[in-house]
Amino acid sequence: MKVKFCGAAGEVTGSSHLVTLSNGYKALLDCGLYQGDPEKAYDMNRQFEFDPRELDCVILSHAHIDHIGRLPKLVKKGFRGNVYATPATRSLALIMLLDSAKIQQYDYEYDVKIAQRKGLPTKHMEPLYTVDDVYKALSLFVTVGYNRWLKIKSNLSLYFREAGHILGSASICLKIKEEGKEFKLGFTGDIGRPSRPIIKNPEPMHKVDYLICESTYGGRKHESRPSEYKHLLDIITKTCVEKKGKLIIPAFSLGRTQEIVFMLDKMSSSGELPKIPVYVDSPLSVNATRVFRLHPECYDDELVDYIEFNPDPFGFNGLHYITDVNDSKAINSIKTPAIIISSSGMVNAGRVRHHVANNIENPNSTILIVGYCAPGTTGHALAIGKEEIFLFGDKKKVRADIEVMDSFSAHADEDEMIDFVSNQKKSVKKIFLVHGSDTARAAFTDRLSKEGFSQVFSPMLGDEVELD
């Protein structure tokens, strides 16, 4: 058996690893979009490290776009095999990929318009795929529940286990029989965190012989969770009750938005939430929340208990879901206190930029950053305390309060990753670290070595290893 590292190798995005069995059968683990430098992304997302027509199947760990975002392109290039995923991953893949196709089309038309106006060439702009390509990709899905072996071929079986990262997320274990031997290859996908709301905790994988392991938060530790409910309530009280201002929460549509809405739902049920309107203003967030309602099989015990007396954990009096762009604009004219949850989480795209632009110079307002913001984004500038930012080409003074809550992360920190892999100590022969920056991988390699894992490697894009 061979494994070729075709994405998220030596970096974070574009997750994709090709497994080739000795009889020639090819299975691709994830087919993610590369989201780094735009010039590099153009080529990276259009070329594959293999011929898509020769691929037999794809197995998806979860529905984040850096794990599924090139799937329609793969189909466009001739892939016709099965795509294995959990039921919730399939549901989320539909809305995530449709959103991605629509954004690409919108950006393309906008860029062409600007280029033509300025007399510039229009190369390097075409969308990767269309809405039609997304539907073709979706027709290939075969859904598989957690905790059961599925025989894909006589010598290859697949097992999904809860990864605790986002709704539907799974670690992948492959049982392979070759030349009279049986062994297991594991892929962690993205490792989630214990004790997060809504979804179940990550479960340890089977003991495997070889492990492809993520390393996003190598060398880092998250803020502890118990304080986050009180922290959020304090920010709401200060902003909306004492200052009578607006609280703007830039949040990722998938996961983070539902966690915050669920927390506000609990505050509403307990009577702690002040009587102010709450808006979830993002079409993707609204669609993602609908998918959460469809998959109670993914809920943790806390949420199962909660819905016994509150059947809708993502809906309460005063909560409004906004999809129409005119309704979104109307929020700007509201003069009374309000909470506005909108994407993107990094304030680099989407409607939240308008809400931040309208409130950033108002000292009564607060912008609450609840997720990772890449350097260069407006969210990052706010999180590190810049006094001025640029939005829509205008310079804006930061007069609103800026708050940061780091505890919402869906990624395990270093200690949590170590806990997740600790049961592999006696079985695993080699670990391949992917999905991490150079610094994160170096730190995690050191830590793994201290924990007794000696054979740890950091493959680069295109590297291939023979395993037996």
Residues at the site binding Zn ion, with contacts judged by CB under 5 A: 64, 190
Measured from the CB atom, is 81 or 345 closer to Zn ion? Answer: 345
Q: How far is the CB of 384 from Zn ion (least distance, A)?
A: 24
In whole angstroms, give the CA distance from residue 141 to residue 83: 5
Helix (H) or strand (E) holding 139: none
Measured from the CB atom, is 4 or 64 closer to Zn ion? Answer: 64
Q: How far is the CB of 92 from Zn ion (least distance, A)?
A: 11
Radius of gyration of the chain (CA): 22
Which one-letter amino acid corresponds to residue 269? S
Q: How far is the CB of 465 from Zn ion (least distance, A)?
A: 24
Measured from the CB atom, is 61 or 157 closer to Zn ion? Answer: 61
The residue at minimum Cβ distance from Zn ion is 64
Q: How far is the CB of 175 from Zn ion (least distance, A)?
A: 24
Measured from the CB atom, is 69 or 81 closer to Zn ion? Answer: 69
Measured from the CB atom, is 56 or 190 closer to Zn ion? Answer: 190
Which one-letter amino acid corresponds to residue 304? V
Q: How far is the CB of 64 from Zn ion (least distance, A)?
A: 4
Which one-letter amino acid corresponds to residue 128? L
Q: How far is the CB of 67 from Zn ion (least distance, A)?
A: 6
Measured from the CB atom, is 20 or 91 closer to Zn ion? Answer: 91
Q: Which residues contact 94 (CB under 8 A, 6 or more apart)?
A: 134, 138
Within 10 angstroms of residue 381's Cβ, the number of other Cβ atoms is 19
Residue 251 in tokens: 């949040």
Within 10 angstroms of residue 205's Cβ, the number of other Cβ atoms is 25
Question: Nearest to residue 261, comparing CAs of 305, 223, 226, 292?
Answer: 292
In whole angstroms, give the CA distance from residue 466 to residue 468: 7
Supply the DSSP symbol for 199: B
Question: Nearest to residue 310, comparing CAs of 354, 275, 266, 345?
Answer: 266
Q: How far is the CB of 62 from Zn ion (least distance, A)?
A: 6
Q: Which residues contact 230 (CB under 8 A, 6 or more apart)?
A: none
Measured from the CB atom, is 205 or 398 closer to Zn ion? Answer: 205
